[in-house]
Amino acid sequence: MGATQFLERPGGRLAYEVRGQGPLVICSPGLGDLRSTFDDLVEPLVAAGFTVAITDLRGHGESSAHWPSYTETDVASDLLGLAETLDAGPAVLLGNSYSAAAAVIAAANEPSLVAGLVLTGPFVRDQPASLVSAFGRWLITRRWIGRRVWNGYWARLFGPQKPADLARRRRLLAANLAEPGRFDAVRAMLRSGHHTADQALPDVTCPTLVVMGDADPDFSNPENEARYAAERIGGPAEVLIVRGAGHYPHAECPDCVAATAVRFLQTLCFNSPTTP
């Protein structure tokens, strides 16, 4: 991977790295996760002729730990700020979960900076909560036990097709979230809703690819959720359902997601590269 760089933002600094040369794709993970979630997706995108920037969320990974707020709109602003800093033309925003919602808001707010969206496991609207899920969410947001609950819950978000190095990823994530202030970001993001992203969907006019694992435990019906997002988006949208994948299809089945993402990216109307 490339060397870690930092982008100064109001309230903190974002860690990111860049590889490749060509049209810009910015990858951003879900809450309570690290930018390394995209490790297996970067190489196919770079090989296809794209510049790929992967960033840690505010409060996560190598980004600074203490920020004044952690809303999806804040993350959208961070993604747009990185796109402007890299100055490689309109970017494709590839966001997972919480970052998928932020990418939607970014595309709606600044369409001139966003050429397209790839949304994996997107949380773009509030989900009905059962008593069990509501209690689990409450536990995760508790200071005294939340981090341990999240570490266990995170591993269960993967479907049957788990990455071979899942145990290593889990150890790295647990160590990062144990650093002072980091789990505060997770707690804050979990407490915020997705109303802004839901309202922004019709204002997105760029092409969008929605990627959903059919075994995603965060949704009662993952396929319906993917189609809801695609149908509400104002621009052209398509859906990829990854069989046997959970909430992180880009990490669980990177070859499948990369093949569809590369084809999608090359159809966008902005100096699309040709596959070598």
Q: Model confidence over 150-201: pLDDT tens digits?
A: 988 999 999 998 899 999 999 999 999 999 999 999 999 988 889 999 999 9
Chain mean pLDDT for the chain:
92
What percent of the chain lies above the pLDDT cut of 70? 92
32-47 per-position pLDDT tens digit: 999 999 999 999 999 9
Q: Could you say which of 3.40.50.1820, 3.40.50.2300, 1.50.10.10, 3.40.50.800 is the CATH number of the domain covering 5-266?
A: 3.40.50.1820
Region of 89 on the Ramachandran plot (φ > 0 left; ψ -120 to 50 alpha; else beta): left
Residue-wise DSSP of 21-82: SSSEEEEE--TT--GGGGHHHHHHHHHTT-EEEEEPPTTSTTS-S--S---HHHHHHHHHHH
Nearest alpha carbon to residue 25 among 9, 48, 58, 7: 48
What is the chain's length?
276
CB 224 within 8 A of CB 252: no
Cα–Cα distance for residue pair 104/160, rounded to 1 Å: 28
